[in-house]
Amino acid sequence: MVVEETYLRGCYVITPKVFKDERGFFLESFNKKTFFTETGINSNFVQDNLSKSSKGVLRGLHFQVGKAAQSKLVQVIKGKVLDVCVDLRKDSPTFGKHFSIELDGINKKQFYVPRGFAHGFVVLEDDTIFSYKCDNYYNKPSESGIIFNDKYLNINWGLAEKDMIISEKDKNLPTFENLFR
């Protein structure tokens, strides 16, 4: 596996070794020892989540606060997404900055998002299956988020807003400024 840290400290793009032959392929999707060796992060994932979405579905930007904060290891099993994270660590030199990457079932890349980040994705192909491991349990009272089209963050989602399918909950999230400025 190849592990590369992004310009947002603690966020990693992971490219697994894929072994292909006439039968299909095999890859190791996670190895705690290797992950620790490559990143210095000793995550203990306790919850796995899976979603299936149509093209245009936008989920995010979500995070949990306080003791319920989560780090996530995300990947696309089938289809394609634009995955985005935003640094919410007030003491970070990249506070308020975001990183985006296309993840798909072909490149099989994974993206590690540490605690202290908002996370979201927009689906670029129908019937996309998105998987993520979390190092903390979902806790509804601790959930929060930032509106996807926040002017300060200025995220290019790669789709026109009119082509996006967004839940009412996500359409009504606060702005970055209302949460942090």
Of 12, 98, 112, 132, catalytic: 132
Q: Which of 7, 12, 62, 119 is catalytic?
A: 62
pLDDT band at 28 (very low <50, low <70, confident <90, very high): confident
Residue 62 among the catalytic residues: yes
Residue 121 lies in a domain: yes
Query: Does residue 32 belong to any structural domain of this protein?
Result: no
Q: pLDDT digits over 109-164, tens only? A: 999 999 999 999 999 999 999 999 999 999 999 999 999 999 999 999 999 999 99
Residue 9 lies in a domain: no
Q: H or E segment at 76? A: strand 72-78
Least confident of 15-19, 86-90, 155-159, 168-172: 15-19
* pLDDT tens column, 4-26: 999 999 999 999 998 999 999 99
Mean pLDDT of the chain: 95
pLDDT band, very low/low/confident/very high, at 1 (cuts 50, 70, 90): confident
Does a structural domain hold residue 33? no
101 closest CA partner among 85, 114, 79, 87: 85
CB-side exposure of 131: number of CA atoms within 13 Å? 14
Asked whether residue 173 is assigned to any structural domain, the reply reads: yes
Residue 36 lies in a domain: no
Asked if 137 is an active-site residue, the reply is no
CATH number of the domain encompassing residue 157: 2.60.120.10
Contact between 124 and 53 under an 8 Å Cβ cutoff? The reply is no
In a domain, 11, yes or no: no
Does 14 fall in a domain? no
pLDDT at 181 exceeding the cut of 80: no
What is the C-alpha separation between 111 and 58, in angstroms, rounded? 17
Residue 180 confidence (pLDDT): 81
Domain count, the chain: 1
> CA 130, CA 125: separation in Å to the nearest integer?
11
Tokens of 155: 């995220």
Tell me which residue range forms the domain holding 69. Answer: 45-180
Strand partners, 14: 3, 110
Q: How confident is the model at residue 27 (pLDDT cuts 50, 70, 90)?
A: confident
